[in-house]
Amino acid sequence: MTGPLPDVPEVRVVGLPQLTSGFDLVERLDLAMHLKVHGPLDPVGGERLAALSDEISLRGRGGAGFPFATKLRAVAQAAIKRGVRPVVVVNGSEDEPACRKDTVLINRGPHLILDGALLAAEALGARTLIIGVTRDSTEASMTAALAERGLTDRRGSALRARVQRNPARMVTGEASALIRSADGGPPLPPGRRVRAAESGVGGAPTLLSNAETFAQLAVAARVGANRYRATGLFDEPGTVLLTLSGDVSRPMVVEVPTGVPLRYVLQLAGAPPLPQGVLTGGYHGSWLSATAAHDAVVSRASLKALGGSLGAGAVLPLGNDTCPLGEALQVANWLASESAGQCGPCRLGLPAAANGLADVLNGGGPAALEALREVTRAVRGRGACKHPDGSANFLASTLAAFPDDLAAHVLSGGCGRETRALLPLPGAGHQDPGAPSGERLAVDWTLCQGHGLCADVVPELIQLGPDGFPTVADAAVPLALRGVAQRAVRRCPALALRLERTGTGAAADRPARAALPSPPGRKALDSGRG
């Protein structure tokens, strides 16, 4: 396939459906149809819910694979210790172009997700539920689902529930970015590690997991651990949702029991019989060779043992008629553009890595390859979030997975194949919020009095020095932070902060607006505050 994936691609099932039950009957299960298909669900006590999660070996399905029971117990203990009500957050922010499983669940079976989230909220005594989304379709479906259950965000409700809409960006799906936006801040990682189980939304202990995880919990609570474990592998029971795209004839989301051979799933989607490589885990994942893909089964352990990754469940095969390094370069450029612009390894390192791969493809030889490897190593472990690490892992895996193509480009000037753009990326017209806005924050030091409000409003760009005055070493403003930068300018009581054009970026591309005349009867020096 070429071009971006639709929000809701074709859905298929291998074996008996669990998460996708009822999808063959209607396009979307409203509450009435949901109850007909799945039946009612009784509350489960906190420790019993944790024990159930342990018995079915439930791990987060958003990529990290953290044990759900451990997270649940940690939130409960922190809430009891501090004497506060915890918060439950469903992460439905699926912003990677190769992933659609959570989007499909929210669009077609939102009440299964809500079942799991409400089970956890009841068990923990939470009084706040937040569902993070980034698409028009998921926002509409989840808003409707809350209304169907009579759940609102009105003060005084037994459970306040709301949908948190964020921009569709790679970094907004990171847990700390979702928590930060739920608190009214920018949907960006804060640049420091904070355990949500101890201090999340509003500083309260927060249980945050992705949409599929809560749906799996709801299935297990209905059928019981023994019946749930009857499907799939002994050590990884149940089913998995995978998104199949890349060089396939039918992009799809498929529900499959763990233990099914990966080659069968690829065949189901119409992948080449002998792909030159299969990207597993999405654009922060790793490549499998054709041999490894033939031997792998769908499970976290199997894929990891063969050098792959289950991650967020994206699987992307590549046939032999496209240049894999050219395909990887397009992804690397997109990953670099998704930087939040908050830290050097991301803002500078990822574009440098993408440019390094381009140099290799353009005949830079061994020196270009060594420079690429050096910058990839330098990015790891130094970012404000996991985006630089995941992007570096993708590039390192690409170099390791295609040695013959790499040798052809480094030593012979190319592999002789065109790049078919088979790996899905956002379509034309996508405005990258991580791109520069063409403006920078500047301080008029003759006016600055060191109030420090600017550092509170936009800490991503401005910090306070030892003397209490702002330090603005490099305050280039990305599109994602332009609104909050404008707020910082408006809030400066000394009027010492301003936005300046840099000559490049989105602002520079816009035509200058004509000066507006003053309204009649209004003095030029009026405050004009309104």
CATH architecture of the domain formed by 324-412: Up-down Bundle (1.20)
Q: Is residue 432 predicted with pLDDT exceeding 50?
A: no
Radius of gyration (C-alpha) of the chain in whole angstroms: 25
For residues 10 and 108, the answer to whether their CB atoms sit within 8 Å is no
Residue range 421-435: average pLDDT? 66
Domain with CATH 3.30.70.20 in the chain: 436-509
pLDDT at residue 112, as a whole number: 98
Give the mean model confidence (pLDDT) for residues 382-408: 91
**pLDDT score, position 452:** 86
Q: What share of the chain is helix, strand, coil (3-state, %, to 5)?
A: 40, 15, 45
Can you read off the two tokens belonging to residue 211? 């949409």
**Structure confidence at residue 427 (pLDDT):** 67
- Out of 17-21, 271-275, 334-338, 455-459, pick the least confident: 455-459
pLDDT of residue 276: 95
Is the separation of the CB atoms in 473 and 411 below 8 Å?
A: no
Residues of the chain within CATH 3.10.20.600 domain(s) are 242-318
Mean pLDDT confidence for 106-125: 97
pLDDT at 472: 65
Angle at 352 (CA atoms; ends 349, 357), nearest 5 degrees: 125
387-401 helix and 324-337 helix, angle to the nearest 10 degrees: 170
Q: How many angstroms separate the CA atoms of 125 and 120, rounded? A: 8
Distance of alpha carbon 184 from alpha carbon 194, whole angstroms: 17
pLDDT, position 439: 81
> What is the predicted pLDDT for the residue at 458?
78
Q: Please tell me the distance from the alpha carbon of residue 192 to that of residue 194, in angstroms, as a whole number.
A: 6
**pLDDT number for residue 527:** 33
Share of the chain above pLDDT 90, in %: 65
pLDDT at position 435 over 90? no
SS3 334: helix
Other Cβ atoms closer than 10 A to 521 = 5
Contact 146, 243 (CB under 8 A): no
Mean pLDDT of the region 214-225: 97
Average pLDDT across the chain, whole number: 88
> What is residue 402's predicted lDDT score, i.e. its pLDDT?
96
Question: What tokens were used for 333?
Answer: 């450029």
**Average pLDDT over every residue of 462-476:** 74
The tokens describing 276, both together, are 């030159």
Please give the residue that has the higher pLDDT: either 345 or 216: 216
436-509 CATH pick, 2.40.30.40, 3.30.70.330, 3.40.50.1820, 3.30.70.20: 3.30.70.20
Around Cβ 381, how many Cβ atoms within 10 Å?
A: 10
Closest CA to 207 of 69, 79, 86, 58: 86
Lowest mean pLDDT among 95-109, 261-275, 308-322, 513-527: 513-527
Residue 113 has a CB neighbour count (10 Å cut-off) of 27
The two structure tokens encoding residue 18: 């669990």
At the fourth CATH level, the homologous superfamily of domain 17-227 is NADH-ubiquinone oxidoreductase 51kDa subunit (3.40.50.11540)
Q: How much is the pLDDT for 453?
A: 86
Average pLDDT over residues 225-242: 96
Res 530: pLDDT = 35
- Confidence check: pLDDT of 212 > 60: yes
pLDDT for residue 518: 33
The second-level CATH assignment, the architecture, of 242-318 is: Roll (3.10)
26-84 pLDDT tens trace: 999 999 999 999 999 999 998 999 999 999 999 988 877 889 999 999 999 999 999 99
**Residue 80 CB partners (closer than 8 Å, separation 6+):** none
pLDDT confidence of residue 53: 96
Strands (E) across 412-496 are located at 436-443, 463-464, 470-471, 476-478
pLDDT band for position 229 (cuts 50, 70, 90): very high
pLDDT at 380 over 50: yes
Q: To which H or E segment does residue 68 belong?
A: helix 68-82
pLDDT at residue 82, as a whole number: 95
pLDDT average, residue stretch 295-308: 96
What are the residues whose beta carbons fall under 8 Å from the beta carbon of 136, sequence distance 6 or more? none
Contact 410, 369 (CB under 8 A): yes
Q: Does the pLDDT of residue 431 top 50, yes or no?
A: no
* Residue position matching structure tokens 């506060």: 84
Distance of CA 312 to the CA centre of its chain: 9
- Which residue intervals of the chain bear CATH 1.20.1440.230? 324-412
Q: Between 350-361 and 365-379, two packed helices, what is the crossing angle to 10 degrees?
A: 160
For residue 127, pLDDT over 70 is answered with yes
Q: 336: closest CA among 363, 357, 318?
A: 357
CA 234 – CA 30 distance, rounded (Å):
33
